[in-house]
Structure 1
Amino acid sequence: MADFLQTVLNGLSLGSVYALFALGYTLVFSILGMINFAHGPVFALGAYLTYGLLGSRFGFNGILANAQLPFSLPFPLAVILSGVLCGLVGLGIEWGAFRPLRKAGSEPLLGVVSSLGVAVILVNLIQYLVGAEVYTLPSGIYGQIPAAINFGSTTSPLLIRTSQLVIFIVSVLLLITLTLWISGTRMGKAMQAVAEDEITAKLLGINPDWFISLTFFISSFLAAVAGSLVAASVSITGPQFGLSFGLKGLAVIVLGGLGSIPGTMLAGIFLGLVESFVPSELSGFRDAVGFSLLFLVLILRPQGLMGRKLVEKV
């Protein structure tokens, strides 16, 4: 029983990160109807920024070899500041890669190709600055909290890693906060209006460009927070750190239903649980299991778990 609960908790922790990361994809898709492939590299950039803001020294490769900030921030502040900085990067991506094409009335596919170009640039820029080494966040970032907490008994321990618990709590709080903000505030409703019909929103006095920029900022902020939490739990494996999560994020938004925030949350948790129950002997096939599940769901329900079925107008 303890092993089962441990697996469930592992799946909830992993799935909450998938949902948090994929939510950034969903926000941009709901507004522009296209995928921002630069989202994965922003995820990695957030992890690197948090590492540097903690006062850690970078390695021996890259232009920032042996570089270290003269100060160090507590982990929560480092994550928040990293998220804000990546949010500004997201604004730059929208202004430089998406807005000119949108203003020119280009096909949506060109925006996707443009975001792929930005993704390649960001990955190579990260490698140029800090190299391709593996970086591990310093120990003790959670203060006096032990590395693992026992929620069971001495005879039947149920150890939960602190990093997993933090990932789950922070991810759920951010997901709930964003959902309530979108559904219960004037700005959130204005964002929904832009997503529904940009021209009508403009006629109602809403500035679509402002809300599109805000969407990119929030999306990149969420990616950076997710990247920082994952880096604290495992490590930063290199500039391509965010690419695998980028693929999982795409699977999550398709599985949940394109543009559906509740669907993204449900699909992220679901995929995390499924992967956690794959036996350790088959750990190398976890990605295959996840994507096989995606194919099965799309065959049975092409619009995803909570997506709306498209109605063809005659």
Structure 2
Amino acid sequence: MTFTLFLQNVLNGLSIGSVYAIFALGYTLIFSILGIINFAHGAVFTLGAYFTYFLMGGGTGFNGLLANAQLPINLPFWLAAIVSGGLAGLVGVAIERLAFRPLRRKRSDPLLTVVSSLGVALVIVNLIQYLVGAENYTFPADTYGSLPAAINFGTAENPIPIRTVQIVIFGVSVVILAILTYLINATKYGKAMRAVAEDATTASLLGINPDRFIVITFFVSSFLAGLAGTLVGSSVSIAGPYFGIGFGLKGLAVIVLGGLGSIPGAVVGGLLIGLVEAFVPGEYSAYKDAIAFGLLFAILLIRPQGLLGRSFVQKV
């Protein structure tokens, strides 16, 4: 492998791995608070991509209830991405109110909450298909304005072309991860959120409203999912309503690999899986998911709690 190819693979891996990390952080935040996995997260990922596409003036296809429709607006990509993230966050709040809160207040079996979130995911996916059809949607060619399609690094004799979208994805991901780390570790909301995650009952005795911070967590988690969907959709295309299913499974692999409930673990796990996939030879690209999950299996055999997860000692 030449140095040029090696560097390209590293940059490709960091680009997709950073998206995995953002997406997996949404899983991690909710797991930290409630101790459960939100299986509707992949559907919210899909919604984020669709929201951005339509807010940028994209039209629907020939199928679905809203066939050949178009919103009378055309927002720039960065603004559409922020607005779509906010809309995805509101969807997350609605999911918490409808699928999680009633069962949580009745102290139901956590398995029922998992089933409920799966049901919400199916409803969202089928609603998307009913409204806008199942065809692919491609972001406009000028999504990133006047930026070139690729930027050459290296020397004139040995250029290293890197797609601009990959640089944008990595840059946005780093900024989002930095902001989220600051919010969780250095603000009163982050500290209160961590207190609720540690012990909701004790936090309520100290004047913290657990329901309020659970709602905030769902909003932030879904905002991250929507933003990740936007970044991936702008890089490739929106491959129909089931666009987020594969990323949902990959996000689960990331948080298990990094350690359930560990925010640094989600980042490390996402980047590691992204790099592993990038270095899979082209002739074996169809098996890159299998290779990534094989890595997960091998690491868990050695360290069951994940790379940065904590092992829990059960008292008897």
TM interval, shorter chain, is over 0.9
Q: CA deviation at 1:9?
A: 0.2
SS in 2 for 1:202: helix
- Find the partner of 2:135 among 113, 116, 133: 133
In the aligned structure 2, how far is the partner of 1:210 from the partner of 1:174? 23
SS in 1 for 2:151: strand
Q: Quote the residue 1:58 is aligned against.
A: 60
In the aligned structure 2, how far is the partner of 1:199 from the partner of 1:251? 30
In the aligned structure 1, how far is the partner of 2:73 from the partner of 2:173? 27
TM alignment of 1:234-253, pairs within 5 A: 234-253=236-255
Q: CA deviation at 1:152?
A: 1.5
- Find the partner of 2:97 among 95, 98, 104: 95
TM alignment of 1:47-126, pairs within 5 A: 47-126=49-128
- Find the partner of 1:142 among 139, 144, 147: 144
In the aligned structure 2, how far is the partner of 1:275 from the partner of 1:186? 38
- Find the partner of 1:169 among 163, 168, 171: 171
In the aligned structure 2, how far is the partner of 1:8 from the partner of 1:209? 42
**Would you say 1:266 and 2:268 are equivalent positions?**
yes
Amino acid at match of 2:135: E
Q: Quote the residue 2:258 is aligned against.
A: 256
SS in 2 for 1:91: helix
Amino acid at match of 2:129: Q
Q: CA deviation at 1:83?
A: 0.5
- Find the partner of 1:209 among 190, 211, 222: 211
In the aligned structure 2, how far is the partner of 1:233 from the partner of 1:224? 14
Q: Quote the residue 2:191 is aligned against.
A: 189
- Find the partner of 2:288 among 286, 289, 297: 286
SS in 1 for 2:213: helix
Q: Quote the residue 2:33 is aligned against.
A: 31
Tell me the TM-score normalized by structure 2: 0.99
Q: CA deviation at 1:194?
A: 0.2
Q: CA deviation at 1:180?
A: 1.3
In the aligned structure 2, how far is the partner of 1:65 from the partner of 1:154? 48
Q: CA deviation at 1:269?
A: 0.2
SS in 2 for 1:112: helix
SS in 1 for 2:124: helix
Q: CA deviation at 1:134?
A: 0.6
- Find the partner of 1:200 among 195, 199, 202: 202
Q: Which runs of 4+ in 1 moved over 4 A?
A: none
The 10-residue stretch of structure 1 (144-153 or 74-83) with the greater mean CA deviation from structure 2: 144-153
Give the paired residue count.
314
Structure 1: unaligned runs, 5 residues or longer: none
Q: CA deviation at 1:144?
A: 1.1
Q: Deviations over 1:13-64 (max 9, x none)?
A: 0100000001000000000000000000100011011010000111000111
Q: Quote the residue 2:161 is aligned against.
A: 159
Q: Deviations over 1:134-155 (max 9, x none)?
A: 1100011111110101122221
Amino acid at match of 1:122: I
Amino acid at match of 1:287: D
SS in 1 for 2:73: coil
Amino acid at match of 2:179: T
Amino acid at match of 1:285: Y
SS in 2 for 1:211: helix
In the aligned structure 1, how far is the partner of 2:40 from the partner of 2:304? 26
In the aligned structure 1, how far is the partner of 2:165 from the partner of 2:108? 44
Q: CA deviation at 1:176?
A: 1.3
SS in 2 for 1:151: strand
In the aligned structure 2, how far is the partner of 1:71 from the partner of 1:8? 38
Q: State the identity %.
A: 67
Task: Please give the root-mean-square deviation of Cα atoms over the aligned residues, in Å.
Answer: 0.6
Q: CA deviation at 1:197?
A: 0.2
SS in 1 for 2:66: coil
Tell me the TM-score normalized by structure 1: 0.99
SS in 2 for 1:95: helix
Amino acid at match of 1:129: L
Amino acid at match of 1:63: L
Q: Deviations over 1:230-263 (max 9, x none)?
A: 0110000000000000000000000000000000
- Find the partner of 1:41 among 38, 43, 46: 43
- Find the partner of 2:300 among 298, 301, 304: 298
